[in-house]
Amino acid sequence: MEAEGRKFYSAIVDVTSPESTEKFATDVVENLGDVKVLVNNAGIYPWKPFSETDFDTWRKVIGVNLDGTFLMSKAFVPIMVQNQYGRIVNVASTTFFMNAQQMTAYIASKGGIIGFTRALAGEVGKDGVTVNVIAPGLTNTSTMKGVNEEIFETLPNMQAIPRVIEPKDLVGVVSFLCSDDSAFVTGQTIVADGGQVRN
């Protein structure tokens, strides 16, 4: 598919599957010829107290959020290392830095992503690959609205910039981390939450 003169390729991928992520990486190279950027955005966030978080829920959240970030990186890092260039942006959450309740599996997975990012950055920096995290605050997406609509009434008021964060508010940070301008930034977590937490 081509739009506005740029090549575009899309596929359905299960980020919890080694086979699916490996196939996707092969197909992307076949269709686009090169890979410069990987944004690991897939994630789930069931809202449950610890007492109701069974092992299946835990495994599912860790599976998509943390295993998914690992598997997509496993699939794409060799291509980036071969090209001696790459930008990886992992998506965590400002909840990692907060007293946020009913999110044990989620916050554990996002903490894992931050740790994974720091460690991977240390291994691939010499190959021209940077690995960073964006940690957004509560953002107005339809999934988030479906999970907990009431929180939009209160949480934005706790931010230094007291309005609801829209997806477009995060675009500049991700673009920066994907660009040549961030060549010397790696292993970092940039919190984009309207100034709610200080990390």
Q: What is the contact surface with ligand NAD in residues (CB under 6 A)?
A: 13-16, 41-45, 64, 91, 93, 136, 138-139, 141, 143-144
Catalytic residue among 9, 45, 85, 106: 106
- What is the spatial distance between Cα 96 and Cα 105, in angstroms, rounded to a whole number? 11
Q: At closest approach, how far in Å is the CB of 111 from ligand NAD?
A: 12
- What is the spatial distance between Cα 128 and Cα 147, in angstroms, rounded to a whole number? 39
Q: Which residue is nearest to ligand NAD (CB)?
A: 43
Give the residue with the Cβ less far from ligand NAD, 85 or 90: 90
Give the residue with the Cβ less far from ligand NAD, 64 or 80: 64
Give the residue with the Cβ less far from ligand NAD, 82 or 148: 148
Cα–Cα separations (whole angstroms), residue 127 to 70, 90, 142, 170: 18, 18, 38, 27
Q: At closest approach, how far in Å is the CB of 166 from ligand NAD?
A: 10
Q: At closest approach, how far in Å is the CB of 8 from ligand NAD?
A: 17
Nearest to 117 by CA among 35, 39, 57, 169: 39
| Residue 45 annotated to the active site | no
Structure tokens at 6: 């740029």
End-to-end CA distance of the chain: 41
- What is the spatial distance between Cα 5 and Cα 160, in angstroms, rounded to a whole number? 40
Three-class secondary structure of residue 190 per DSSP: strand
Give the residue with the Cβ less far from ligand NAD, 85 or 110: 110
- What is the spatial distance between Cα 125 and Cα 122, in angstroms, rounded to a whole number? 6
Q: Which amino acid is at 62?
A: I
Q: At closest approach, how far in Å is the CB of 184 from ligand NAD?
A: 25
Q: At closest approach, how far in Å is the CB of 43 from ligand NAD?
A: 2
Give the residue with the Cβ less far from ligand NAD, 82 or 141: 141
Pairing of strands 86-91, 6-7: unpaired
Active site (catalytic) residues: 106
